[in-house]
Structure 1
Amino acid sequence: MRVIAGERKGMPLKAVNGNTTRPTTDKVKESLFNILGPFFDGGTVLDLFAGSGGLGIEALSRGMDKAIFIEKDSKAYQNLKENIEKCRYEDVTEAYRNDATRALKLLIKREIQADLIFLDPPYAKHSYYKMVEDIIANNVVTKDGIIVCEHDNQLVLPDQMATFTKYREEKYGSTIISFYRLEEEGE
């Protein structure tokens, strides 16, 4: 696992051994960021279920200003902190070892907004995708923001979540990535 592009291109990232997390492969990560637009002009990324932080760190490397990471697993959280330090992103990140549902409530209370949100829960935990509606209802995602959901190919996410529409879906083996954005009038 490594940073694919941007200011930290080629930087190796430490992943968790075992079954507790499922890192996004470099191939899928590269494709995902090519779809989003290869580089960003600032903004905040929220990486829920961050694991070792590969997606959020990639977004920082490609131009995001700030990242907020949420990870419950203690081993993954330790790797996340080491990866943030190795990439010298301590000053532009917040990392919390917390359950994503609890953390989201705290972010809502702080009125945090993100331009890009990654939602990649354990595949067996389908109920976590209901968080997208809370994210939208509480304006955690900006009006121009994008929500990216990584999920098992056995799970079909709806075309519409609140006011956000699935505008693209890509399959990579047993993984599907669904992209959501605010439905614009007249679409």
Structure 2
Amino acid sequence: MIRIIGGKFKNRRLKMVRSPEVRPLPAKLRGSLFNILKDRIKDAFFLDGFAGTGSVGLEALSRGASRVVFIEELPLAAKIIRENISKCGAEEQSLVLNQEFNRAVIGLSRKGVKFDLIFLDPPYKLLGERNPLKVIRKRRILDPDGLLIIRHHRHYVPSRSDFKLIRQVDFGDDLFSFYSGEIIEETANNHRE
């Protein structure tokens, strides 16, 4: 069982997704993430990408985010996210997109959506195949003053050619990489990955 660890939904129990494809963010890492974000959460428009159980997005709502969009491709996980949202009474502040990540981002960009905070926790295998930062950059769904955080394995080096890397936090095999919303423009000397 997963619990919300801070804010108005503190100690609310969330359902877990029983699938090897879902890797919930441990409470220790979730707590560290939100301690780093602190005041940036209040009134933020938050994207929880590769949302799994929805615990990160619900933690954001619990701590004062105004609205959260959850993107999750697995139908079972999307169903559990909706149930967890309902347990918290956060239906009015939440949108669950049960779609492949790139397709969901394209749809959001067509509606002119811009996020203050984006958190991505993609399957490590996916990061070796394609870079989710590229579609976010191309579709410009992160506000220029926003922040993008990606959880990844220490052996994967996220792109440094899409957004400006401003911080990395090490948790053993896991790292959080923090990027500013400032897009790195392509030049003749700046190759795309």
Identity across the alignment (%): 35
- Pair 1:175-2:153 in alignment: no
Deviation at 1:41, TM superposition (A): 2.4
Cα RMSD of the aligned pairs, angstroms, is 1.8
Deviation at 1:173, TM superposition (A): 2.7
Amino acid at match of 1:135: I
Equivalent residue for 1:124? 125
Q: TM-score, normalised by structure 1?
A: 0.90
Q: Distance in 1 between matches of 2:13 and 2:118?
A: 23
- DSSP-derived class of the 1:124 partner: helix
C-alpha deviations, 1:27-75, integer Å up to 9, x for none? 0000011111266320210111111101111111111100001111122
Q: Closer, same or farther in 2 for the Cα pair 1:85/1:172, shift >3 Å?
A: same
Deviation at 1:2, TM superposition (A): 1.1
Q: Closer, same or farther in 2 for the Cα pair 1:169/1:129, shift >3 Å?
A: farther
- Identify which range, 49-58 or 9-18, moves more after superposition: 9-18
Deviation at 1:167, TM superposition (A): 1.3
Structure 1 segments of 4 or more deviating over 2 A?
Answer: 38-41, 127-131, 136-139
Ranges in structure 1 where 5+ consecutive residues have no aligned partner: none
| Counterparts of residues 13-162 of structure 1 (less than 5 Å) | 13-37=14-38, 40-127=41-128, 130-158=131-159, 160-162=160-162
The answer (yes or no) to whether the contact 1:132–1:161 under 8 Å persists in 2 is no
- DSSP-derived class of the 1:147 partner: strand
- DSSP-derived class of the 1:59 partner: helix
The answer (yes or no) to whether the contact 1:48–1:70 under 8 Å persists in 2 is yes
Equivalent residue for 2:165? 166
Deviation at 1:106, TM superposition (A): 0.5
- DSSP-derived class of the 1:16 partner: coil
Count of matched residue positions in the alignment of Structure 1 and Structure 2: 182
Q: Distance in 1 between matches of 2:8 and 2:76?
A: 27
The answer (yes or no) to whether the contact 1:115–1:141 under 8 Å persists in 2 is yes
Q: Distance in 2 between matches of 1:9 and 1:108?
A: 32
- DSSP-derived class of the 1:67 partner: strand
The answer (yes or no) to whether the contact 1:73–1:97 under 8 Å persists in 2 is yes
C-alpha deviations, 1:65-99, integer Å up to 9, x for none? 00001111122111101100001110111101111
The answer (yes or no) to whether the contact 1:114–1:145 under 8 Å persists in 2 is yes
Q: Closer, same or farther in 2 for the Cα pair 1:161/1:87, shift >3 Å?
A: farther
The answer (yes or no) to whether the contact 2:117–2:142 under 8 Å persists in 1 is yes
Ranges in structure 2 where 5+ consecutive residues have no aligned partner: 184-193
The answer (yes or no) to whether the contact 2:105–2:139 under 8 Å persists in 1 is no
- DSSP-derived class of the 2:166 partner: strand
Deviation at 1:110, TM superposition (A): 0.8
Q: Distance in 2 between matches of 1:46 and 1:102?
A: 14
Deviation at 1:23, TM superposition (A): 0.4
Q: Distance in 1 between matches of 2:167 and 2:40?
A: 19
